[in-house]
Structures are given as structure tokens and as C-alpha cells.
Amino acid sequence: MSNNVNSAGESLEHGRPIVIRNGIVITMDDQHRVLKNSDVLVVGGVIKEIGTKLGAPEGALSIDASGGIIMPGMIDTHRHMWQTAMRGYGADWSLSQYFVWYYLQHGKNFRPEDIYAGNLLSGIEAIDAGVTTSVDWSHGLSSTQHADAAVDALEAVPGRFVLAYGNIQAAPWEWSVAPEFKEFYSRRFSANNDMLGFQMAFDVLGDEAFPEKPAFDVAKELGVPVTTHAGVFGVTGDNSIRLMHDHDCMGPDTVFVHCSTLSDDSYHRIAASGGSASVSTESEQSAGQGYPSSWILRQYDIPISLSHDTSVWWSADFFTAMRATAGSDRSRQHFESQLKGEQVINLDVRCEEVIHWATRGGAKALGLEDKIGSIEVGKRADVVLVKNDNSPAMFPIINPYGHVVMQAQRADVDTVVIDGNIVKHEHKLVGIDLGAARTATEKTVSFLADTIGEEAWVSGMNPELTERQINENPYKYVK
Ligand SMILES: [Zn+2]
């Protein structure tokens, strides 16, 4: 492909050693060291050395990181990638409008090629934004042909992915026990593949008979983690957590998505199990699962990772995810404090911790902390260079953590290295066929629009607006 060389004509072929020089390195190692004017050497897919004026092997590509920040690749633990072809369609939706459109009305219209289109576009978008690992919370898999299409797309993108298999068109105790599901799993997945992991994705609705139990049994039998939407106002709540806990269906590898509207008891149960929470702040703020939960998860010492949920509403810019999470956490701290008539002097959450959630937190949630999530010698090389010499917002860099969370955006991602391979450089994707993603997406959009019909298409995008009530004003101000 023509974009496999940089502006100096140097090859960006995969497998080549890379040395990234003279950047500010946010390591996110155990000491959270931040190193100035430092180099990161990548050889054979692994971070080989970190330091100053490093020697590099013959043929290594040298990347100038001066004026930029070298950080670990970000990790998104919950994204419905299959919905990406419908980008922005539901920007004005509430959660119930989303449920009606996808779960009840139109989700069943998605064909395998539509799952493929969404996943392909979302996978490319993720690596472009510096998100090197994404969990594809794929609950549109109404057949294993759909699932094969999902995996085909993930394998067509040089990123790290986890397929979280789900199917909103059938109950979890139905699809998970079907022989073709297990056949699909054993055919497409192996335990040793760091680039493509597997989870089972389904929700527990709180029925005392706990009908979801057979799905958990399948997860145990296959030895795969479960990810579940938990603490979603009006949908999943404390009963779901209690049932999972009482039936021994949670553990350190369980990911609880949102975790917003839960009682003390539920948070204690999750914390005791070692499970983690995936916070999708923009989603919770806009859709209504409950207040974004990082502020309360902290009080129970529940590990946190971040996620973007779906591009049918929001962007997949993980800098925005971090910024929104810092803001919502602080907003709640001020709110709780002001209810007591007190002013906040010291903020509880710092940008450093939010970056931890976006990197190490994701690695921990996925059981990959020994492989990814930080820039440390011996780890797989998932590395992002945030640098943009053309942007007035990218200098001066005085506070690296603060700069990443409060100033940077995905257009500032200069270089992305995944498993030691360059997938983006000089702000351009490398070896990616964006045209193929565009064509697949256009076909899906026109198919869905034709199937749904114009009237439903337009009304689905434009929910009813109730008349705004303006408060009566006792004053008349005449000058
Ligand atoms: Zn979700």
C-alpha cells in the first residue's frame, strides 16, 4: 500500500525495530514515572529499553518525539463496534429510545456484512485515536455467521481486540448453550492469542429464578470471562448483582459496565469478588444509566477502566472519555460537598489517575496487566506518541498528565505502535484501506435506510421534543 513509507521515504513495514526519541514518557509503571527527553526502543514487538540516547539496532526506524508525549496505548473495555456504521444517528436519544430502535425494532435487520462494516470502521477509528485495545461488546450476533463477520473485521485491522460475544435477539440461556456457539468459539479463538481475546456479553435482569445461570455455566466451562451491563437505571440493578454473587457467578475477570445505580451492598459484593467496573462517562451522562460512577467506585476500591460504549451517540475519542470522566467525578465531589455547605479545597481525582484508568485499568480488567497498559521493559509494545507541531494547544507541555487529559485530542495522535508495528505515523494511518471501510459502511447505511423506510428513518433520528416550560418571572425590569 502506498502509505507504507513516511515523509522521508523510510519504510514503515511491520516488524522493523523502532526507536522513539526525545519525548516525555508517561510510563504508567508501578511508580508512575514520567521521564523527560527519553527514548523508547521497540524490538520484536516488545519494549526493549527505556532511557536517554539509546543505541538502536541496524535498520531501526527513528521517530522524533520532541515536543510530544509518549504514553501507553489506551484500552477501551466496552464498545458496541457493530453500531458504528450508524455513527451519530442517535445523538439525541435517551436510553429507552436506543433500546426501542436496536433491541425491539431494527437490530434484527443487521446482516453479517453490516456487523463487518461497523466493526471495520470502529476498529480503524480506535487505532487512529490511539486506542490500541478495544473490547467489541458485540451484542448484535444473531447467528454465528454474524459472529464470523465480526471476527473477520477485527482480524482485518492491526489492533488488539477482545470479542465480547452477545445476542440481543435471543436470551443468553438460549444462544450460549447452542452447539454452534461453542463450535464458533473453538474454531476462531485460542487461549494464546494476545491480539484477539474472548468474553461472553449478556445482562442479568434480576429475575429471582436466575435464568441466566446456564450462560454463566457455559462461561465457566469454556474458561472465558463475562462482561455485563450492571447498575443501569430501570434495567439492571441490585438484584442482578446479588444473584450473581449468591450463585458464584462473579470473579476478578468479570467486567461490570456502568455500575451507576447500585446500593452499598452491591458495591461491596463487586469489590469482594475482585471484579472491575467499566465507566462510559459520556454515555451515562447523556443516555441515563445513572451518574457516571467513578466517584462512588473509588469509595469501595473497585478497579476502574474506561469505555466509549457506542458511536451511534458519541465520538470514540478517548481523550474526550478521560476529560469527561475527570469532569463528572469532580462535578459530583463539588455537588456532594456543597450539599453539606462546604467548599472543596482539594480535588479527589487527578489527571494522573484518570490516565491510569484509561491504560492500566483496562489491562487489569482484561487480565492483560503483565502484557500491556504501561511502558515498561518486557511488555508488548502498544505505544502512542501524542505530538502535533501544527497545533497551538500542544505547547507548552508543562504538566504531562494534565496535558493529555485536558488539552489533547485524537487529532494530536502522531504515531501509534501496536504489538511493535507502526499502524499510524505522522498523523496518517499506515497500511489501512480506509476506502474499503467507507464502501462497506455506505452499503450498510443504504441497506438499513431502505429496509426501515424513509419516515421511520427520519423519525428515529429525531425524537419528539416536549415543549419547554419557562418559569413565570415575578419581576418586570424597566429602565
Ligand atoms: Zn453498552
CA torsion sign, 324 to 325 to 326 to 332?
A: positive
Q: How far is the CA of 314 from the centre of ligand 1 (A)?
A: 12
Evaluate whether residue 394 is within a structural domain.
Answer: yes
Cell of 178: 447452542
Evaluate whether residue 251 is within a structural domain.
Answer: yes
Evaluate whether residue 187 is within a structural domain.
Answer: yes
**Dist. CA 165–CA 150, nearest whole Å:** 10
Co-location of 274 and 348 in the same domain: yes
**Dist. CA 412–CA 478, nearest whole Å:** 51
Evaluate whether residue 143 is within a structural domain.
Answer: yes
Co-location of 211 and 79 in the same domain: yes
Evaluate whether residue 303 is within a structural domain.
Answer: yes
Q: How far is the CA of 37 from the centre of ligand 1 (A)?
A: 40
CATH number at residue 35: 2.30.40.10
pTM, two decimal places: 0.97
Query: Which residue, 365, 386, 421, sits at the end of a domain?
Result: 365
Contact 200, 224 (CB under 8 A): yes
Q: How far is the CA of 51 from the centre of ligand 1 (A)?
A: 40
Co-location of 93 and 67 in the same domain: no
Co-location of 47 and 31 in the same domain: yes
pLDDT, tens digit only, all 479 positions of the chain: 446 899 999 999 998 999 999 999 999 999 999 999 999 999 999 999 999 999 999 999 999 999 999 999 999 999 999 999 999 999 999 999 999 999 999 999 999 999 999 999 999 999 999 999 999 999 999 999 999 999 999 999 999 999 999 999 999 999 999 999 999 999 999 988 999 999 999 999 999 999 999 999 999 999 999 999 999 999 999 999 999 999 999 999 999 999 999 999 999 999 999 999 999 999 999 999 999 999 999 999 999 999 999 999 998 999 999 999 999 999 999 999 999 999 999 999 999 999 999 999 999 999 999 999 999 999 999 999 999 999 999 999 999 999 999 999 999 999 999 999 999 999 999 999 999 999 999 999 999 999 999 999 999 999 999 999 999 999 999 98
CA torsion sign, 429 to 435 to 438 to 444?
A: negative
Co-location of 181 and 297 in the same domain: yes
Q: How far is the CA of 309 from the centre of ligand 1 (A)?
A: 5
Element (H, E) at 278: strand 276-279
Q: How many domains does the chain contain in total?
A: 2
Query: Which residue, 365, 384, 410, sits at the end of a domain?
Result: 365
Co-location of 59 and 31 in the same domain: yes
Q: How far is the CA of 385 from the centre of ligand 1 (A)?
A: 29
Evaluate whether residue 451 is within a structural domain.
Answer: no
Residues by chain with Cβ below 5 Å of ion ligand 1: 309
Co-location of 24 and 135 in the same domain: no
Co-location of 295 and 398 in the same domain: no
User: For residue 158, which of 371, 424, 387, 367 has the smallest C-alpha distance?
Assistant: 424
Residue 4 pLDDT: 87
Evaluate whether residue 106 is within a structural domain.
Answer: yes
Co-location of 321 and 423 in the same domain: no
**Dist. CA 477–CA 479, nearest whole Å:** 7
Co-location of 240 and 298 in the same domain: yes
Residue 219 pLDDT: 98
Co-location of 28 and 169 in the same domain: no
**Dist. CA 470–CA 479, nearest whole Å:** 23
Residue 201 pLDDT: 98
Q: How far is the CA of 112 from the centre of ligand 1 (A)?
A: 20
Please tell me whether residue 47 adopts helix, strand or coil conformation: strand
Evaluate whether residue 462 is within a structural domain.
Answer: no
Q: How far is the CA of 474 from the centre of ligand 1 (A)?
A: 45
Domain span at residue 41? 18-72+375-429
Co-location of 135 and 249 in the same domain: yes
Residue 475 pLDDT: 96
What are the φ and ψ backbone dihedral angles of 181, each rounded to 5 degrees? -65, -50
CATH number at residue 209: 3.20.20.140
Query: Which residue, 365, 383, 401, sits at the end of a domain?
Result: 365
What are the φ and ψ backbone dihedral angles of 152, each rounded to 5 degrees? -55, -45
